[in-house]
Amino acid sequence: MMSQAFKTRRRRLPTLPGMNTPTSPRWHLAQVNIARLLAPLDTPQLAGFVARLDEINALADGSPGFVWRLQTPEGDATQLRVFPDERILVNLSVWASLEALKDFAYRSRHVELLRQRRQWFEQLDQPIYALWWIPAGSLPTVEDARHRLALLAAHGPTPEAFTFQQVYENS
């Protein structure tokens, strides 16, 4: 069954002079990251990852600058399959700023999972995450996320899809 997040249409706020900076309250940062499972979620190989999902989701939800994340009514996105490859998990979220997302991703307990990711996920030969600016008050769709990953794969970092290593300000 399709979740509400799949049906959400992003509405665009008008662009106003002087409001086009990422630090402006008019803009939020959307991020998508994907991972390809080495084994099914219910196997012992993935038990360490699955055991920490609630903890890490709660950490994100309570982090300064957190705005929204894609989730099922059960509270996570691990059961959502949005790519043709059924083993790809997706994480889609919105943050008030680049710094807020960096703090969560690299300066919280979340980093422990990043360090262990090779135990649970395949190394992919495509971009596994993308960042982009959205008008505050709007939500990205799964289609947006797939499109941003494809843009990054085809063109490298651009203002439409970028990485932590090459950030673009909103224009």
Average pLDDT score over residue span 54-63 = 94
Please write the tens of the pLDDT for every residue from 81-107.
999 999 999 999 999 999 999 999 999
Q: With pLDDT > 70 as the criterion, what percentage of the chain qualifies?
A: 85
Query: What does the pLDDT read at residue 171?
Result: 57
**Average pLDDT score over residue span 13-40:** 71
Q: What is the set of domains in the chain, with CATH numbers? A: 20-155 (3.30.70.100)
| pTM for this model (two decimals) | 0.83
Question: Taking each helix axis from N to C terminus, what angle separates 110-120 and 47-61, rounded to the nearest 10 degrees?
Answer: 150
Q: How confident is the model at residue 169 (pLDDT cuts 50, 70, 90)?
A: confident
The C-alpha torsion from 55 through 57 and 59 to 61, rounded to 10°, is -150
Mean pLDDT of the chain: 87
The whole-number pLDDT of residue 77 equals 93
What pLDDT does 24 receive? 52
Q: Per-residue confidence at 14, pLDDT binned at 50, 70, 90?
A: very low
Amino acid 143: pLDDT: 96
| Chain centroid offset of residue 43 CA | 25
pLDDT tens for each residue of 118-165: 999 999 999 999 999 999 999 999 999 999 999 999 999 999 999 999
> Amino acid identity, residue 151?
L
Rounded CA separation 145/129 (Å): 9
Q: Residue 135 pairs with which residues in a beta bridge?
A: 27
For residue 89 the two structure tokens come to: 């998990």
- 129, 32 in Cβ contact below 8 A? yes
Q: Which residues of 2-31 are buried (b: 16+ CB within 10 A; e: fewer)?
A: eeebeebeeeeeeeeeeeeebeeebbbbbb
pLDDT for the residue 74: 86
Q: What is the mean pLDDT of residues 59-71?
A: 96
